[in-house]
Amino acid sequence: MQRVVSVVAHLGFRLQALPPALCRPLSCAQDVLRRTPLYDFHLAHGGKMVAFAGWSLPVQYRDSHTDSHLHTRQHCSLFDVSHMLQGTLSLFTNEAGGILDDLIVTNTSEGHLYVVSNAGCWEKDLALMQDKVRELQNQGRDVGLEVLDNALLALQGPTAAQVLQASVADDLKKLPFMTSAVMEVFGVSGCRVTRCGYTGEDGVEISVPAAGAVHLATALLKNPEVKLAGLAARDSLRLEAGLCLYGNDIDEHTTPVEGSLSWTLGKRRQAAMDFPGAKVIVPQLKGKVQRRRVGLMCEGAPMRAHSPILNMEGTKIGTVTSGCPSPSLKKNVAMGYVPCEYSRPGTMLLVEVRRKQQMAVVSKMPFVPTNYYTLK
């Protein structure tokens, strides 16, 4: 008997945040942008809407970016990321070893894989999965693909579980990091609650049927611990946590080893070499790559994407891929790529900001300790 494999793809709703400078304010073309089920909800709560990856999303609300960021670290915030069993970060790779997308994949007890894609990659991800489904079906395999149109809400911060527990019958203490369960939340049935997020804090992502999204978000906001947060805070939080932004820190020209994501490759897959790009990636695991993603920290002007990284002799050796002032540390943090010989923490380098050179130090990531919930 052939094993039945069903893939349920939640495509286009795990909306990773771009730095505010890269988000386009809405214009007369706003009617062509896709809207999440919470669009009117955002406007009613003062959301400043921007265009991101073909969607209209709030970059921030009435609170400042810094206030939203710090509230998430100290309490909890609600993000529209319209995104148990075991779940994990996984990668789609091409034959050259490049990263097509980073995704959350959950192996559910219902006999299917639950896949959450990045908004900017959903079309190519869907095409890739559809091609694979056809290939397997032609081999006689019983494989299917279903695309969900649920909304995805992320409740992130140290009090997130306490807030959510009042609305569910399940014991969230039994739901550790990267596990999920289907449950009723504030009376909305069919919600998949996953203990994960994009901030480095404890929290959950709730995949909720579109018709119940506003009800659920409104119910959460009744708790004084919860405030709304937008793309701006999401970006600075993920950067403090050392998490990649697809299209900035990783892309089709970056291998998992270069991107410091080797841990996503299981030992079985490494041994079998049965994934796209294995002939490029596996030798890198066993040998040496030319460059690596590193953390950088400096004072002075903030480092931004595309800022040149130089050695102490003033020769350009790399480029910043993401950077911002850290609201938590009151210092500037960034990620970038440098040759391996410059990747050791503590290495002093120069970064060119506004045509001026300033000192920077290679730093361990995450910059701010993570607080993921694991079973004790």
Annotated binding site for substrate: 205
**Other CB atoms closer than 10 Å to residue 343's CB: what's the count?**
18
What residue numbers does the annotated binding site cover?
205
Alpha-carbon distance of 23 to 232, in angstroms, equals 9
Measured between alpha carbons, how far is residue 253 from residues 45, 111, 185, 257, 312 in Å? 40, 34, 41, 12, 27
**Beta strand spans in 33-179 (E):** 34-35, 48-52, 55-60, 76-80, 86-93, 99-107, 112-118, 143-147, 151-156
Strand-pairing partners, residue 155, are 78, 204
Exposure of 257 by Cβ count < 10 A (0-12 exposed, 13-18 middle, 19+ buried)? buried
Q: Which two tokens stand for residue 245?
A: 């932004």
**354 — alpha (psi -120 to 50), left (phi > 0) or beta?**
left
